[in-house]
Chains A and B, each alone.
Chain A
Amino acid sequence: MTDISTPRPRAALFVTCMVDTLYPGVGMAAAQLLQRHGADVVFPDRQTCCGQPAFNAGYRNDARAVARHLIDVFWPLVDGGDVDAVVAPSGSCVAMVKRHYPILFEAAHDIEYQRRAVQLGEVTYELTQYLVDYLGVADAGARCPGRLAYHPCCHLLRELHIDAQPRRLLSSLKDAEIAELPNADECCGFGGLFALKNADISTAMGRRKVRNVNHSGADMVVLNDVSCMTHLNGILRREGHSCRAVHIAEVLNGTVEHATAERDSPDDR
């Protein structure tokens, strides 16, 4: 397995606050995927959040305070050569680090943190991007019986331009049938604080997505962000649909049945 001449890549897992507190199974799946496909995983346990909720809502001072902490946790590992990459099972949080941190610190004329943010952003990857582009994974080596629809999350698709990687990994799944999702790249309506501030519009958008998911005939809608997953499952469950939104890490890791069963335990209804 391990080759002495080329050491295994080392990835620091940025698990994200939502995965940490709501969906640890997604984090475990991400870590296992990385390990199975040839990377060593480091989990810096002082990590919290990327600051996106505050940034998107316009609270840049609050966002900077949280962002500085993330940089303090991950940047030394990168700068010191302890890890080659930072990997997160989220397009949105990665977009925050790569695309918005530089803006955040530039606006505050914080040159040192801006420099660190740029340096950190260069080696920060979304999970499927890292698996395909960095580790060269072409086949997830997992099985997933059922009909899957893929929903490209907006920040993954339009901030990071990641689309081929998750689709390639999904198409490698054994026993999986990939369903065509109508208007797949239309937003699910989550949008962070938007989901609360504009709850009715957000719900209307989510219902439209759910209609499209149902139209595709999929048993599962697979996506790369647990935020959008929470939104869609909130509507799917409230409206009594059997289809579930699942995170791509669990699908690729073959641990999705366990995860769904856990979420929909009998005391749920």
Chain B
Amino acid sequence: MTVDVGAAYPTRVRQALADDALRAALDRATEHLRGRRAQALAGVDATRLRDEAHAVRRYAIEHLPDLLEQLEGNLIANGCQVHWARDAAEALGVVLEIAHQNHVKDVVKSKSMVTEEIGLNDALQRSGIDVVETDLGEFIIQLAGEPPSHIITPVIHKRLEDISEIFQTKLDTPPTDQPAELCDTARRALRSEFLIADMGISGCNFAIAETGTICIVTNEGNGRMVTSLPRVYVAIAGIEKVVRSVEDAVLLWQAASRNATGQDVSVYFSMSSGPRRRGDSDGPDEMHVILIDNGRSRILERRYGDATLCIRCGACINICPVYREIGGHAYGRTPYSGPIGAVITPLLEYDIRPARDLPFASSLCGACRDVCPVKIDLPRLLLDLRSDIVERRAAPIAERVGMRVYSTALRRPAPYRALARLARRLGRLAALLPPLKRWARTREPPRFAAKSFATLWRERGRRPGEGAAE
């Protein structure tokens, strides 16, 4: 990995832009995913799907406390144990406590961004518990010792040849350019992990309130193994994942599948409503559900509530022209990248400052808003965040001064004209000033016109026969 997720933002961006292999991988993958999404939506009434998906999510967020209580009640009735966690530390504490009580040594995991958000793998490993990621992409990056760089396709930043190399080093396999061979290798390696695991951990795509059901959307079948093979199953769900009904969950499943990977629906949709009952042939002995806040209610209380509508499909990431150039690791330690990541990463933290560069990592082109299956106005949220950051005086001082000069001069015509005259006189020298230098390093600067439009218009008015001038 050439991008150091722990480095400062400018360093991460520089590292990403300098990595040709990364950019080739990103190009190929985002183009492919964009195409698949467009195809999958061409076959349905996309507007209606979007309206309905938005309505379902909106209902859930507006009735969050009631739905969460209903969910808890039904999960308990189904035999689950429900835990509430205010933040990452509490959630990790719960998981470790469950693991301790059940003498857990080996954990298998299904791909889950919320577990990345709280740093679960590290915490388990520090307690001497072995964790294996069983999603193919996650398995690969775990071998490589890297975090995911995309919420749906975590290994999007690697090319086939990079993956073959990782397998050669870590699993001692011969080089190959056949994806199927790599899959077989991973499947063999994972099979034994599933059989020895004491505990399975998954995230949650939808938590159905009226039935007390945890749903996960997967494509490889590993999710089902994680939720049913080990004796203990733990699902970790952000509190915003709750939905009203089975119908609502199925609708969102379709919306997520079409927008994420361009499938009509994903290959697997695993619904877990409790531990093994008497007479069941399989299933875990215990099922735990951890409902975690970790900043979500803070997002809801402020003006950013719409960010919690997100169903984590990644369509905004795949369409984002900024993500396409820099990839997910340039967004830092967060598992959330692209436009949605630039919004929720600073908001999930108590302090906006550490991630304050992210809301500015957007040209505000609006492509993300157009593709969002639940109609999140991402550019608007980015603009609001920028304003929040500026109001907290977390923006660079030179920029603040520059903006004050701008607004003082341009709120009246005379100083505006004076500033324009000054710029005209400076001419090409202006490109040596620090902010403009950043422009001129890679781009020719524009030149100020000898006469402004206002001057030309005035002069033209004095000459007769030049048409109607005011």
CB contact between A235 and one of B385, B416, B442 (< 8 Å): that residue:
B442
Q: Which residue in chain A gives the minimum CB-CB distance to B438? A: A199
Q: Which residue in chain B gives the minimum CB-CB distance to A15? A: B453
Contact residues in B for A22 (Cβ distance below 8 Å): 446-449
CB-CB contacts of B410-443 with A at 8 A, as 1s and 0s?
Answer: 1111001000100110000000000110110111
Q: Pick out which of these stretches binds chain B: A59-67, A116-124, A126-134, A216-224.
A: A59-67
Q: Pick out which of these stretches binds chain A: B117-125, B173-181, B218-226, B355-363.
A: B355-363
Contact A191 B448 (CB under 8 A): no
Bound form: Cα–Cα A61–B367 in Å: 27
Contact residues in A for B370 (Cβ distance below 8 Å): 158
A35 interfacial contact with B, CB 8 Å: yes
A195 interfacial contact with B, CB 8 Å: yes
CB-CB contacts of A11-35 with B at 8 A, as 1s and 0s?
Answer: 0000101011111110110011001
Contact B452 A20 (CB under 8 A): yes
Given A21-B420, A234-B445, A205-B321 contact (CB < 8 Å) = yes
Contact residues in A for B383 (Cβ distance below 8 Å): 55-56, 58, 100
Contact residues in A for B451 (Cβ distance below 8 Å): 24
Contact B360 A198 (CB under 8 A): yes
Within 8 A of B (CB), among A86-141: 100, 103, 107
Given A45-B458, A189-B321, A201-B444 contact (CB < 8 Å) = no
Contact residues in B for A187 (Cβ distance below 8 Å): 321, 363, 365, 367
In the complex, how many angstroms separate the beta carbon of A29 from the nearest chain B beta carbon? 11
Contact B444 A69 (CB under 8 A): no
Contact B367 A201 (CB under 8 A): no
A41 interfacial contact with B, CB 8 Å: yes
Within 8 A of A (CB), among B358-376: 360-367, 369-370
CB-CB contacts of B366-395 with A at 8 A, as 1s and 0s?
Answer: 110110000000001001011111110001
Bound form: Cα–Cα A199–B437 in Å: 10
CB contact between A194 and one of B360, B411, B420, B457 (< 8 Å): that residue:
B360
Q: Which residue in chain B gives the minimum CB-CB distance to A46? A: B413
Given A56-B383, A203-B443, A234-B444, A17-B410 contact (CB < 8 Å) = yes
CB contact between B410 and one of A48, A206, A234 (< 8 Å): that residue:
A48
B277 interfacial contact with A, CB 8 Å: no
B397 interfacial contact with A, CB 8 Å: no
In the complex, how many angstroms separate the beta carbon of B425 from the nearest chain A beta carbon? 12
A255 interfacial contact with B, CB 8 Å: no
B14 interfacial contact with A, CB 8 Å: yes
Bound form: Cα–Cα A56–B403 in Å: 11
Within 8 A of B (CB), among A44-88: 45-49, 51, 53-63, 65-66, 68-69
B17 interfacial contact with A, CB 8 Å: yes
Chain A-chain B contacts (Cβ-Cβ < 8 Å), number: 202
B side interface size, CB within 8 A: 67
Contact A54 B420 (CB under 8 A): no
Q: Count chain B CB atoms within 10 A of each CB in A24, A69, A192, A237 and give the residue with the most.
A: A24
In the complex, how many angstroms separate the beta carbon of A99 from the nearest chain B beta carbon? 9
Given A35-B467, A58-B387, A190-B363, A21-B449 contact (CB < 8 Å) = yes
A side interface size, CB within 8 A: 77
In the complex, how many angstroms separate the beta carbon of B388 from the nearest chain A beta carbon? 8
Contact A58 B443 (CB under 8 A): no
Contact A47 B406 (CB under 8 A): no
Contact A159 B366 (CB under 8 A): yes
Bound form: Cα–Cα A103–B449 in Å: 34
CB contact between A21 and one of B17, B321, B364, B452 (< 8 Å): that residue:
B452
Contact B452 A24 (CB under 8 A): yes
Contact A235 B443 (CB under 8 A): yes
Given contacts A66-B411, A191-B363, A199-B442, 10 further A-B contacts (CB under 8 A): A35-B468, A48-B413, A57-B403, A58-B385, A69-B410, A187-B363, A194-B362, A196-B436, A205-B325, A206-B443
What is B's interface to A at a CB cutoff of 8 Å? 13-14, 17, 321-322, 325-326, 360-367, 369-370, 380, 383, 385-391, 395, 399-400, 403-404, 406-408, 410-413, 416, 420, 423-424, 435-436, 438-439, 441-449, 451-458, 467-470
Sampled A-B contacts (29; CB under 8 Å): A17-B410, A20-B454, A21-B423, A22-B446, A22-B447, A23-B449, A24-B456, A27-B456, A48-B410, A51-B410, A56-B364, A58-B383, A63-B407, A69-B411, A107-B387, A154-B363, A186-B321, A189-B363, A195-B439, A196-B438, A197-B360, A200-B17, A201-B322, A205-B325, A205-B363, A233-B444, A234-B439, A234-B443, A235-B443
A-B pairs with lowest CB-CB distance, top 7: A191-B363, A234-B443, A58-B386, A62-B407, A187-B365, A158-B366, A58-B390
